[in-house]
């Protein structure tokens, strides 16, 4: 193998052009077969089992993951392993999506008679509509390409890109049909940023119990400052004698009061607190808490129950650590 001088940018542009043409060429093949494939997936009471060998298998794994994360239960089964026991993962309630560019992959064709015996619907995704796989399938989706991006026309490149795009088209069409929402997406992505924004509640991240800064309305300002320092949230709730919220005192309030030359020891919290402060309920979305902070240009919020008694507190630092900001 001898080294050649290659214009890397020119080669890259050629690859992108070939693969773009492969994807755009799929548009004319979105026909009744595609509709039938969607209907089979929607009618499936089990899971959509995706299978494929080699590069097709790698693409199949991604397609299965996309289906599963967008409302269509799905997982990938390796066809070689299926012949040695993993076929037991497939039930009569499932639908199989088999991927093979040639349509003659031996490991997949070995499974076809068993799938037929189980009466499992079979969707083929192949580049050869005259192949054995396409002929055996209930529905065959054409993902054929005129050329691979590989200059030898051997390595699966444009063909795998086209297959991946067809898989995305299938997943998104099903997503729309199911009425899949952002909230549904978040449930399957609890570790992602969207999941955190849509699922995380104030009660999940607030400081409560012994971490909640509280003082009474008749306590001195110095007592309030000590409580703020100990709890480290830059604020404290101020309570009425019956335990309900009277107001809030923050670092910002302190700076403004010190500018007036106030007597820290001789002033009560009732004299310096902000009554009618912004509060949230524990079931409020953390993302909504962020919106309130930004809208009102404040740094913290108290969390109250239905009796207006403080049960928690949070500030921008808490929200930032939670990954919501």
For position 30, which CATH number holds?
3.40.50.10490
Asked which of 65-69, 150-154, 172-176, 260-264 is least confident by mean pLDDT, the reply is: 260-264
| Same domain, yes or no: 85 and 210 | no
On whether both 148 and 219 belong to a single domain, the answer is: no
**Is 292 a member of any domain?**
yes
Identify whether 75 is part of a domain: yes
Residues 77 and 138 in one domain: yes
User: With 0-12 CB in 10 A as exposed, 13-18 as middle and 19+ as buried, what is 100?
Assistant: buried
Structure confidence at residue 306 (pLDDT) = 95
C-beta of residue 24 within 8 angstroms of C-beta of residue 78: no
Percent of the chain with pLDDT over 70: 94
pLDDT of residue 242: 95
Whether 160 and 302 map to the same domain: the answer is no
- Are 116 and 15 in the same domain? yes
Nearest to 273 by CA among 208, 211, 217, 214: 217
Does residue 85 share a domain with residue 19? yes
Q: What CATH number does residue 208 fall under?
A: 3.10.580.10
Per-residue pLDDT band for 83 (boundaries 50, 70, 90) equals confident
How crowded is residue 139: how many other Cβ atoms within 10 Å of its Cβ?
22
Write out pLDDT tens, residues 88-114: 889 999 999 999 999 999 999 999 999
Q: How far is it between the farthest Cα atoms of the chain?
A: 92
- β 48-52/95-100 pair status: parallel
Give the pLDDT score at 184. 62
Question: Do residues 133 and 212 both lie within one domain?
Answer: no
pLDDT averaged over every residue in the chain: 90
pLDDT given for residue 28 in this prediction: 94
pTM: 0.65
The values of phi and psi at residue 139, to 5°, are -140, 135
Q: Which residues contact 314 (CB under 8 A, 6 or more apart)?
A: 202, 205, 206, 207, 233, 289, 300, 301, 303
- Please say if the pLDDT value at position 194 is more than 70: no
Residue 194, CA distances (Å) to 191, 200, 283, 325 in order: 8, 10, 18, 11
- Does residue 187 lie in a domain region? no
Checking if the pLDDT of 260 tops 90, the result is: no
Number of domains in the chain: 2
Looking at per-residue confidence, does 6 or 261 come out higher? 6
Q: Are residues 227 and 131 in the same domain?
A: no
3 part of a folded domain: no
Provide the angle, in degrees to the nearest 10, between the axes of the packed helices 158-178 and 32-43. Answer: 60
> Does 76 lie in the same domain as 115?
yes
Give 215's strand partners: 238
174, 81: one domain: yes
Each residue's pLDDT tens digit, 268-322: 999 999 998 999 999 988 888 888 999 999 989 999 999 999 999 999 998 888 8
Which residue in this structure is represented by tokens 């599963």? 68
Q: Is residue 238 part of a domain?
A: yes
Looking at the fold, whether 29 and 167 belong to one and the same domain comes out as yes
Show the domain range for 218. 202-321
| Contact between 135 and 129 (Cβ < 8 Å) | no
| Domain co-membership, 161 together with 243 | no
């Amino acid at each position: 193998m001898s080294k050649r001088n290659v214009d890397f940018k020119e080669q890259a542009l050629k690859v992108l052009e070939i693969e773009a043409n492969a994807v755009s060429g799929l548009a004319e093949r979105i026909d009744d077969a595609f509709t039938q494939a969607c209907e089979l997936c929607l009618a499936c009471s089990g899971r959509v089992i995706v299978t494929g060998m080699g590069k097709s298998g790698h693409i199949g794994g991604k397609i299965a993951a996309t289906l599963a994360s967008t409302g269509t239960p799905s997982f990938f089964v390796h066809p070689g392993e299926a012949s040695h026991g993993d076929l037991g993962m497939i039930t009569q309630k499932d639908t199989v999506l088999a991927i093979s560019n040639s349509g003659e992959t031996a490991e997949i064709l070995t499974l076809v008679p068993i799938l037929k015996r189980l009466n499992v619907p079979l969707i083929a995704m192949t580049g050869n509509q005259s192949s054995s796989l396409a002929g055996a399938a209930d529905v065959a989706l054409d993902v054929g390409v005129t050329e691979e991006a590989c200059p030898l026309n051997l390595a699966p490149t444009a063909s795998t890109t086209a297959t991946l795009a067809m898989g995305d088209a299938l997943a998104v069409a099903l997503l729309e049909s199911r009425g899949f929402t952002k909230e549904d997406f978040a449930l399957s992505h609890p570790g992602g940023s969207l999941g955190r924004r849509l699922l995380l509640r104030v009660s999940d991240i607030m400081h409560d119990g012994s971490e909640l800064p509280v003082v009474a309305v008749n306590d001195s300002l110095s007592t309030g400052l000590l409580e703020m320092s100990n709890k480290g949230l830059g604020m404290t709730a101020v309570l009425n004698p019956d335990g309900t919220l009277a107001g809030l005192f923050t670092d910002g309030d302190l700076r403004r009061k010190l500018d007036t030359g106030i007597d820290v020891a001789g002033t009560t919290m009732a004299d310096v607190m902000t009554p009618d402060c912004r509060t949230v309920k524990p079931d409020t979305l953390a993302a909504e808490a962020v919106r309130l902070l930004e809208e009102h240009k404040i740094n913290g919020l108290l969390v109250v129950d239905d009796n207006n008694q403080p049960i928690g507190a949070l500030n921008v630092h808490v929200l930032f650590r939670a990954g919501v900001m």
